[in-house]
Structure 1
Amino acid sequence: MKRSGGSESEKRRKRRRLLQELGDQRIPFLGPSDHGFQQLWETSYSGLALRRSCSLPEELHGRVEAALLTLRQRGCFLRDLVKVRDRDVFTAVSRVLLGQPGTTYRYLDTRLFTIPWHADDQRGTCCDPDLSAACKALWELNCFFCSDVGHRKEGDVFKQCRKELVGAIESKPSVEGDTESKDSEESKPSDDGGDSESKQSEEGETESKHSEDWDIESKHSEEEGPSSKQDAAWESRHSDEMGDMKPKQTELGSPTGSKQHSEGKHTGWKHRPAGSTETETTGLGPQEKPVAELKHSLSGYHIEDEDEDQLSGQGCSHLNPAKTSCPGPAQFNVTLLNYMDPAAMSQLKEEPYYGMGKMAVGWHHDENLVSLSPVAVYSYSCHDDDKAGVSSEEGPAEKGCWRIGLKVAWDIHTPGLTLPLQSGDCYYMRDDLNRTHQHCVLAGDSARFSSTHRVAECSTGTLDYIQSRCREALSNLSTDPETGTHSLLSLLPATLQGYEEIHNEVEFEWLRQYWFQGQRYTRFCSWWARPMEQLENDWREMELMTQLFLAAVEEEGQPEEGRREMAETLLTALTDRQQHRQTWRDRCHSSLAQTLPPEEAPVDRPFWADDDPSMPLPFDLADIINRVESLLWRM
C-alpha cells in the first residue's frame, strides 16, 4: 500500500514536533550493564533470542566468514539505487541477495535477483568454484538457522554455551557480599582477563555484570529440570537475582547523573507491559520530570524515523502484501547480505530518540516477509588489532562494538534495549517481534558483515510464477502452422485485460527491474541469463498480441458496444505502459545513475527505435494512444 502525500506530510510534521518537544531530553534505554536489563528483555522483548558465537560449530564459522570475504573480494557487495518519495537514492549499506534459485526480493521499487546458493545436490555450474563454495557455505548456515530458530527451549548446544557463561558469572564477586570499594573493584581483573564494569544501583549496591552474561537463550526453562550441578547453580543464582529485583521493578534506569542523563538512561521509570497507557514515576529529579511529562503529551505519536526506515533497504514495496502466516518450522528462502564500514559511511546519523549512538541502519521493520515468520541474523566483525583495547569504564562488549537497538512500536513508555554483538554472534527475531517492534543497527568501530535470513513473501516473485503468467497470456495467441499467421483466440474484454496486465508485469516488474541493475548479475553468476532471455522473447510475443488487439479495435465491422469496451481496455493498458516506460527512462538516465561504472549502470532495456522492423509496435506509444482516444470520441 503506497502512502499518500498527506499521510507522509502529517508524519513528518509529527516527527518534527516530537523532536522539538524532546529537545535535549532522551527516552530511556537499557544495555547489558544496566540494572533491570534482563527483566526488560524478558517482559518486553521476549521474541528476541541471542545465540553466542561459542555455541555454533567452529567449522561453520570458518566457512561462513571465508564466504563473506570472498563475496566482498569479488565485488558482489553493491549499493542499490532505490526510490524513496519519488526520488532515487543509494542505500548506505552495500548488499547482495543469495537464496533459492529463481527467487527475488522486492523493496523500495527495486527487485533484487538471487545469486543461488548451492545445496549438496546442486552443481554450481553458474558460478566459478570459489563463488560456488561461498554460496554453499551460506546455504549451510541457512540450514542451521532453519533447524535452530524454532527451538523454544535450550538445546544441548545452548546448554554447553550456558555452562561456560555460568562459570564466568560465578567466578565473579557476589553482589550482596561485595564490600570492596568501587576503585578496587575496577582495578581487579576478572577471571577471563577482562575488566568488569561497575555501576551503583539506586539502593547503593555495586552491581558488576559482563555483557556476555546476558544471553537470553542461557536462561533455564521452567519446564525442564537442571541437567547438571552447574545448571542448578544457574537456576539458583538466576532466581536470587530476580528475587532481588522484584521489590525494585520500577528501577529500570541507572543512577541519575549528567552522563547517564545525556545518554538517555534515566531512573524513576516504572516498567509497564508493552501497550500500557499508565505511567508512574518515583523520585524524579528536576531533569527527569520533563521526560515524564512528554510520555503523556506524545503518547499518540509513532516514534519512527521514516527516512532511515526507508533508506535502510530493509523495508519494501507493498505491492504484494503477505497473505498467510508462517506455518510450522521456518524455511528461510533468501538471505540479504550486508557490508557496512563506518569509515566509509561519512554521514552516520545519531539515533534521535534514545541517544543510543551512531546508526548504520535506522529504525525499521523488516518487510515483505511471510506474516509472523522469524528473521535470523549472523554478525561478523572485521576486527582491527589496533582497536582491540577496551576501556573498563565502558564495558568490554559495549565500547566499539556493533549493537542492535530495539523499541516497541507506538510506545514511548517502555524503555529501549541495546544488545552488543561480538563477531560470530547470531540473533533471532521470533513470534511477532518484527511486527510489534522496530530495530536499528548501531555502528561499531570496525567493518561488519551481516547475513539476514528471511522467509520472503514471494508468491508473485519467483521465476516459476512469472513463467506461468507468460504461459497464461500466450495461451490466447494462435499461430497458423501453414501460413504462420497470428490471431487472438478470444476477444472478450476480461481476457484481453488479463493478458495486457501480464504484459505490463513482465516488462516493468521483471525485464526493466533486471536491467536497471546493469550487468552486475552476469559478472558474478550466469543463472539468470537464459531465463531473462526467454522472458524477453515471451514479452515480444505479447507486443504482437497488443498489435492484434489494436487491429481488432480499429476494425469497422465490430459491434459498437463490444468495440467501445475493448477500446477502453486497450487505452488503459497503453496509457499505463507509456507512463511506466517514461518513468524507467528517467531513472536510467538520472544524475545518480550516471555516476555508476559501466558494469553497474542501469540499462534502458527493452528499448528500440520506432522504425525497428523486428518490433510490431513503436516504443513511444503516444500516436497509438491518440488514435484510440479519437476512436472513442467518434463512438
Structure 2
Amino acid sequence: MFKRKHHSTDSSEEEEVKRRKREKKQRLIQDLQRQREFFLPWCQRYEQVVEESYSNFVLQQKDDITSALHGRIQWAFETLRDHGYLYQDRVKINKKTITTPVSRTLIGEPGLTYKYLNLRLFTLPWSFAGRPPSNDIEEACSVFRELNNYFCEQSKLLMVKKLAGRSRSEQTVEQETEDLVAGENNNYTDMSTASGKSTQEEDDNNVIERNSNFNITLLNYMDPSDVYLKDEPYYGMGRLAVSWHSDENLLEGSTVAVYNHTCYSARPEQDEDWKVGLKVAWNTEIPAILTPVCDGQCYYMLDTMNDTHLHCVLAGSTPRFSSTHRLTKCTSLSDIQKKSQRALENLNKNENGCVSLMSLDLGVIQFSEEIHDEVEFEWLRQFWMQGAKHSQEREYWIQPMEELESQWRQMELMTKLTVNAAMEEKNKSLIQKLLCIFTKRQSLRDHWMNRFSGRDICQIPSEHTPDYRPYWTDRDDTYPLPFDLADIMQQLESIEEEPY
C-alpha cells in the first residue's frame, strides 16, 4: 500500500517522551515495591492516613439506603445479567487484544457515551421520552436512574458539608447542611438570582454543581471463579479484579459514586469481602489504603479525588455487581449531530440537484474533514464493531447511527469535490492538506480493519463478531471515493511534485 513520506522528527520526539514515561513508571514501581505499605481499617494508622490523604473517600453503610431500594437494585442487576446485557469488552492495549475480566454495560441519559481504553460505550437509556418502561430491561435501567437520583442528593450533602467545614465548627456545619437541604440558604441554592455573593461562594456553587450531577452509570459484574486474576503487583494486596487506574473522560473535579452488591455463598461466614484500594498518584511516600466493601455499601470519591488518586478493586470470594455513577464529558449524540450539520454547510445543492462546495478555504476544509473522521472512526466504526448483539440491544441508537452514516456519505462526496478541485487547479496547498488528511484516514481505516486478528475473531462469540461498517469495494460505485485511498494519494503527490 502507498505510504506518505514524512519527516521523522516528530516520531523521534514522541518516542523520547514515551521512553521517559516508561523510565518514570519503572522507578515508581520499584519504589512502591520497596515500600509496600498500606493500611486496612483495623490498622492503627488507617484513620490518620485517611484524614491526611484520603479525606475525599467516603464509605456509606448499607442501612442508609432503604431495603426496598436495595431489593430493586439487586433485581435490576440480576435481570440485566440473566438477559445477557453484561458482557466482557475486547480492547486493544499495546497492540494486543485484551478481553476484560469484568463484564460491563453503560446505562444513562439517552444519547450519551463514555470511552475507556479507546472503546466508546453507548448508553442503554434509563428514561423513555416520558413513557413508563415497557419491559423488564427498561424497568431495570430505570431502577439505576432512581439510584442515580439518590446519589445526586447524597453527593450534594457530602460536598456542602465538606465545603462548609473548611472554617466552621461541626455544630455550624450540621445546621448549615440542614438549611441548605431545606433550600433556606441562598448562598448555594439560587445561583441565578443571588446578588452580592463573594467569588468564593460562586466557586463553591460550581463545585457543588459538578459534584452532585451524574448522567451515566457503568455497571460491572465479575464472578472471580470464572476468570484468572493476577496479584496486585505493588503492595501484595491480593487478587486484582480491576487494576490501578483513574476513571477516564469524566468532567474534571467531579465525584464518582459506587453501589456495591456482592452475592452470598452457601457458607456466607466464609465469604471474603471485595475491597477497594486507593493511593495518591505518582507518590511513593504516602501509604495506600485498602477498604473492604460489603454488600449494599456505597462509596464516594469526592471532588478532585479521581484526578489526584488512583484506585483498584481486589476480588472477594463471591460474584460482585457494582454501579459506578459518573459525569461523562464525552461527545454526545446531539454534539456529533450538530457538528455534522455544520460540516455539511459547506455543501451546496442547487435546484437541479447539482452539488458543489461553498468554499475551498483550507480552514473550512480542515474543519469539515476532521468531523468526517470523527463520524467514521469515533461513531460509526465504534458502534458497529461491537457486534450484532450490541446494536440489537441498543435499538434507540439504530436510527441516529443510520442518519449519521447518511451524512458521512455526503461528507465523502464533499471530499471527492475537494479532490477534483485540487487536481484541476493544481492547488498545491490544498493537495498538501488532503495528503495529510488521507494519510491519517487510511491509517485509521487500516487500524479498524485489523483491530482483531484471525485468531481473535475465532474466539469471539458470533453475536459479538465485529461488523466492519462502513466498508465497500472498489467495484461499488455508490460511494464517491474508494475505501483504499492509495491511488488517489499517488495522483495527488505526483501533482505536488511537479515544478511550479
| Interval of TM-score (by shorter of Structure 1 and Structure 2) | 0.7 to 0.9
Structure 1 residues 375 and 590, CA gap change in structure 2 (3 angstroms): farther
Q: 2:329 aligns with which of 446, 457, 461?
A: 457
Deviation at 1:88, TM superposition (A): 2.3
The answer to whether structure 1 residue 540 and structure 2 residue 409 are counterparts is yes
Partner SS, residue 592 of structure 1 = helix
Deviation at 1:364, TM superposition (A): 1.1
- 1:101-250 to 2 correspondences below 5 Å: 101-118=110-127, 121-124=130-133, 129-152=135-158, 221-223=170-172
- Given that 1:377 and 1:428 are in contact with CA atoms closer than 8 Å, whether structure 2 keeps it comes out as yes
Deviation at 1:97, TM superposition (A): 0.7
Structure 1 residues 331 and 225, CA gap change in structure 2 (3 angstroms): closer
Structure 1 residues 578 and 328, CA gap change in structure 2 (3 angstroms): closer
Q: 2:339 aligns with which of 434, 456, 469?
A: 469
- 1:560-599 to 2 correspondences below 5 Å: 563-599=427-463
Structure 1 residues 352 and 367, CA gap change in structure 2 (3 angstroms): same
Aligned sequence identity (%): 42
Amino acid at match of 1:541: Q
Deviation at 1:464, TM superposition (A): 0.5
The answer to whether structure 1 residue 51 and structure 2 residue 60 are counterparts is yes
Deviation at 1:349, TM superposition (A): 1.8
The answer to whether structure 1 residue 389 and structure 2 residue 269 are counterparts is yes
- Given that 2:156 and 2:208 are in contact with CA atoms closer than 8 Å, whether structure 1 keeps it comes out as no
Partner of 1:310: none
**Structure 1 unaligned blocks of 5 or more:** 156-219, 227-323, 391-398
Structure 1 residues 531 and 123, CA gap change in structure 2 (3 angstroms): farther
Partner of 1:359: 240
Deviation at 1:480, TM superposition (A): 2.1
TM-score, normalised on structure 1? 0.67
Structure 1: distance between partners of 2:209 and 2:453: 44
The answer to whether structure 1 residue 488 and structure 2 residue 370 are counterparts is no
The one-character-per-residue Cα deviations of 1:539-566 (angstroms, maximum 9, x if unpaired) are 11111111111111122xx3x6xx1212
- 1:236-635 to 2 correspondences below 5 Å: 327-346=209-228, 348-386=229-267, 388-390=268-270, 400-458=272-330, 461-481=331-351, 483-555=352-424, 558=425, 563-634=427-498, 635=500
Structure 1 residues 595 and 442, CA gap change in structure 2 (3 angstroms): same
- Given that 2:160 and 2:208 are in contact with CA atoms closer than 8 Å, whether structure 1 keeps it comes out as no
Greater mean alpha carbon deviation, residues 10-19 or residues 360-369: 10-19
Structure 1 residues 541 and 123, CA gap change in structure 2 (3 angstroms): farther
Partner of 1:304: none
Structure 1 residues 70 and 496, CA gap change in structure 2 (3 angstroms): same
Partner SS, residue 343 of structure 1 = coil
Structure 1 residues 123 and 594, CA gap change in structure 2 (3 angstroms): farther
Partner of 1:208: none
Deviation at 1:536, TM superposition (A): 0.4
Deviation at 1:104, TM superposition (A): 0.7
Deviation at 1:465, TM superposition (A): 0.7
Structure 1 residues 576 and 153, CA gap change in structure 2 (3 angstroms): closer
Structure 1 residues 119 and 139, CA gap change in structure 2 (3 angstroms): farther
- Given that 1:588 and 1:603 are in contact with CA atoms closer than 8 Å, whether structure 2 keeps it comes out as no
TM-score, normalised on structure 2? 0.84
* Structure whose residues are more often helix by fraction: 2
The one-character-per-residue Cα deviations of 1:117-147 (angstroms, maximum 9, x if unpaired) are 12693444xxx60100000001100111011
The one-character-per-residue Cα deviations of 1:385-432 (angstroms, maximum 9, x if unpaired) are 22x124xxxxxxxx6000111112232222221111110100000022
Partner of 1:240: none
Partner SS, residue 413 of structure 2 = helix
Deviation at 1:490, TM superposition (A): 1.3
- Structure with greater Cα Rg: 1
Deviation at 1:110, TM superposition (A): 1.0
- Given that 1:330 and 1:455 are in contact with CA atoms closer than 8 Å, whether structure 2 keeps it comes out as no
Q: Number of aligned residue pairs: give it.
A: 451
Q: CA RMSD in A?
A: 2.5
Partner SS, residue 604 of structure 1 = coil
Structure 2: distance between partners of 1:46 and 1:616: 58
Structure 2: distance between partners of 1:120 and 1:474: 29
- Given that 1:71 and 1:77 are in contact with CA atoms closer than 8 Å, whether structure 2 keeps it comes out as yes
Partner SS, residue 262 of structure 2 = strand
**Structure 2 unaligned blocks of 5 or more:** 1-10, 162-168, 176-205
